[in-house]
Amino acid sequence: MPMSKKFEERLFPHLPAIAREFKTPFHVYDEIGIEETGERLKNAFAGCLGFCEYFAVKALPNPAILSIMHRLGFGFDCSSKIELELAREAGATPKEIMFTSNNTTQDEFRAAQADGGCVINLDDVSLIAKVPEPFPEIICFRLNPGKERTGNSIIGEPEKAKYGITWDQLISAYRMANKRGETKFGLHTMVCSNERNYQYMVETVRMLLRATLILHQELGICLSFVNMGGGIGIPYIPGEHEEFDIEKLGQECELLFSNFAEDHNWLPKLYMESGRYMTGPHGVLVSRAINRKDIYQTHIGVDAGMPALMRPAMYNAYHHITVLDRDGKSRGTEQGTEIVNIVGSICENCDRLATDRELPKIQVGEGKGDFIVTHDTGAHGIAMGFNYNGRTRPKELLLRRNGTVELIRRAETDNDLRATLRFEPKTLTL
């Protein structure tokens, strides 16, 4: 199911008051839900010694969220300089940060190596020579298994993806890093996105352990860790998909690792870098219906769109929608339902939160229209938003465990968009 009943109960009765105080649109995240998911993840992997989740900062790069993750004992998967900064500001130590970038510049490597450094995950053999001195204490490579694994619609087929090194490059990559003086290594992969079948991830871990053995046999390397990446899915569509069985994944990993330890007398640690699983269901986008347009189809215009949530436009992704009246009561179907598109204001036809969706009859009106609550926006939501048409991203709120609601990011303003138009004049005469 999308948004849990408990999150609904914590949020919906207070929506009119929250909207009065903060004004729509906003994303609001549920601290209790995030913490419960974090505890569940830790329990599921309690049998895997040294297990660590490195929260994928790109999923929800907000300091208030990162500090919840840090309290849970999680590290951070970062892919850019600003993500590294946010992770460090959240209190992460060098070992608690993995820098998984691609098409990386030397400047980015320097940022990764600053402040005591972090674990650097290399996306290509050509990057080994690019890492500045002093060479990091621990180096990792991202393996792209190519044809061996099927990807899915979000991440694409591994063979056609731009990420990682091939099986054929595996040994030479570690040998080259070893030549630069490296002795401590990890291995990473990320082959799926929004995958709800836990068996798929078991196969990923099995594949990583196979590569671990190859490296040990060929080069005598004992990997410090294997990182199965992110990609654990959440059920966006009510009733249609089974929930990902995190406990089964934990149990099967425990078995794989204890067999490995028994056979070989040593063991890499197991890492994961989930984003969506951790925060996806614990956020919603709250917007208001402001316009109705009846043409060939009915379009309900809301005060949010692609800047707040790109996933429907980018992936044709389904996000469940609940309609609440201005008093925060769930709109029933007594007054009938209608098939509508929920649209934003951008001059792109894909600027939608929902297409051909059967919803209760919606009342529109600026500042007084129905609340349109779009579920599962807690991961890869606001972070993906853009500013086409000079439209701005909304604010973010956090519903705290103690029942308070905190502004954790203000909305973008037109002034923010103008910021890049204020610069020192510079002209090159040719």
Ligand X SMILES: Cc1ncc(COP(=O)(O)O)c(C=O)c1O
Q: Judged by CB, which is closer to ligand X: 362, or 384?
A: 384
Q: Judged by CB, which is closer to ligand X: 86, or 190?
A: 190
- The site map against ligand X for 27-56 (x = CB under 6 A) is -----------------------------x
Q: Phi, psi (5° rounding) for residue 100?
A: -110, 95
Instruction: Tally Cβ neighbours within 10 Å of residue 290.
Output: 18
262-267 long-range contacts, CB within 8 A, separation 24+: 264/213, 264/216, 266/222, 267/49
Q: Which residues pair with 140 in a beta bridge?
A: 121, 186
Strand duo 283-294 + 269-272: pairing: unpaired
Cβ atoms 334, 412 nearer than 8 A: no
Is it true that the peptide bond before 61 is cis, omega within 30 degrees of 0?
A: no
* Angle at the Cα of 424 from the Cα atoms of 423 and 428, rounded to 5 degrees: 115
Cβ 318 to ligand X shortest distance, Å: 16
Q: Judged by CB, which is closer to ligand X: 242, or 366?
A: 242
Cβ 192 to ligand X shortest distance, Å: 8
Site for ligand X contains 275 (CB under 6 A):
yes
Using CA atoms, how far apart are residues 291 and 350, in angstroms rounded to an integer? 17
- Give the gyration radius of the chain's Cα atoms: 23
Cβ 230 to ligand X shortest distance, Å: 3
Residue of 34, 232, 323, 398 interacting with ligand X (CB under 6 A):
232
Q: Judged by CB, which is closer to ligand X: 277, or 371?
A: 277
The span from the first CA to the last CA of the chain, in angstroms, equals 61
Size (the chain), residues: 430
Site for ligand X contains 151 (CB under 6 A):
no
Q: Judged by CB, which is closer to ligand X: 8, or 83?
A: 83
> How many residues interact with ligand X (rule CB under 6 A)?
17
- The site map against ligand X for 353-382 (x = CB under 6 A) is --------------------------x---
Site for ligand X contains 273 (CB under 6 A):
yes
Cβ atoms 358, 339 nearer than 8 A: yes
Residue of 2, 75, 151, 229 interacting with ligand X (CB under 6 A):
229
Residue of 59, 64, 65, 97 interacting with ligand X (CB under 6 A):
59
Site for ligand X contains 303 (CB under 6 A):
no
- The site map against ligand X for 86-125 (x = CB under 6 A) is --------------x-------------------------
Instruction: Using alpha carbons, select from 81, 71, 78, 140 the residue that is nearest to residue 105.
Output: 81
In the block, residue with structure tokens 């694409």: 156
Residue closest to ligand X (Cβ): 230
**Which residues of the chain form contacts with ligand X (CB under 6 A)?**
56, 58-59, 77, 100, 190, 193, 229-232, 273-277, 379
